[in-house]
Amino acid sequence: MKTLSLKNLQKTYFDPYAGSQVTAVHDVSLDVEQGEFVSVVGPSGCGKTTILNMIAGFIPYSGGEILLDGIAVNGPGPDRGVVFQSFALFPWKTVLDNVSFGPKIRGVPKAERDRIAREYLELAGLSHAADRYPNELSGGMQQRVGVVRALANNPAVLLMDEPFASVDAQTRMTLQEELTRIWQQRKPTVIFITHDVPEAVFLANRVVVLSKGRVLDQIKVDLPRPRVWDDLMQDETFKRLSSQVLQMVRSA
């Protein structure tokens, strides 16, 4: 069952300095199944962030449609959870209160929302940090909080824009493994934007390659799960898929 549907999506920015229009997204159509993990890759400036921000409702679109369960998207909302590259945690809230913020807005009573938040923190191995403030955590820990904060709100889609780009390589691999594990347990619908081709393949059911504001190609990833780097690094299928995607990106 498809949940998210982009139809001939288009975005034109007005550049006030040049005094001219810039078309960042020309014509993008994409259907995402419920519980699917879609990675989106493409060269810098091809419109990835723009598309994600339109789905999130942070910026308006200039043409086409974005439908979530058949309803047109208009402005940000809790049905679309977002994980930011810069984490965007609330510095004035403890880790627990960050994660329980979404349920709190929905009016979930305190005991219940704290239970939900603790369950998700446990899932991310962060139970011990519940009462700390974000500035007391490492970047990797902060992004784990960012991910479960979005998940705890039970969104229809999870939108992630290069969420692991600002942590070190070691931590990034751990976070990737954790994300696939959490995805397997909860089966959220995910759109994951990245520059990193192996990361895209490692995580996804499907990789979408963008070029200059259009969908260039897509590729299914049928690698078995659970996926861990120790296995996949040597895996022939993984290597073949990665180099295939890499070639598409480089030709884009």
Partner 1 sequence: MFVAPLLALVAVWAVVVPLFDVNPRIFPSVASVANAALDTIRDGSLFRHIGASLLRVGLGTVIGVVTAVPLGIAMGVSPAISSFLTPLFRFFSVLAGIAWIPIATLWFGYGFGAIVFVIFNAVFFVVAYNTLLGVSTIPMTIRNAAASLGAGRWVMLTEVLLPGALPNIVTGVRTGLGFAWRGLIAAEMIATNVGLGYMLFVARDFYRTEVIVLGMIVIGLLWLLIDRLLLVPLERATIERWGLVRRT
Ligand X SMILES: Nc1ncnc2c1ncn2[C@@H]1O[C@H](COP(=O)(O)OP(=O)(O)OP(=O)(O)O)[C@@H](O)[C@H]1O
Contact positions toward ligand X, by CB under 6 A? 13, 15, 22, 24, 42, 44-50, 195
Helices (H), the chain: 48-56, 95-99, 101-105, 110-123, 139-152, 169-186, 197-203, 229-232, 236-251
- For the sheet with 20-33, list strands across it: 71-72, 63-68, 2-15, 20-33, 214-220, 206-211, 37-41, 189-193, 157-161, 80-83
Span from 90-98, 168-176, 194-202, 230-238 in contact with partner 1 (CB under 8 A): 90-98
Per CB under 8 A, 91 contacts partner 1: yes
Span from 46-54, 98-106, 127-135, 200-208 in contact with Mg ion (CB under 5 A): 46-54
Nearer to ligand X, 28 or 121 (CB): 28
Per CB under 8 A, 58 contacts partner 1: yes
**Residue 201 binding result from partner 1, Mg ion, ligand X, none, given CB thresholds of 5 to 8 Å by partner type:** none
Per CB under 8 A, 149 contacts partner 1: yes
> What angle (nearest 5°) sits at the alpha carbon of residue 143, between those of residues 142 and 149?
90
- Angle between helix axes 139-152 and 169-186 (nearest 10 degrees) is 20
Least separation, in Å, of the C-beta of 114 and Mg ion? Answer: 35
Nearer to Mg ion, 12 or 49 (CB): 49
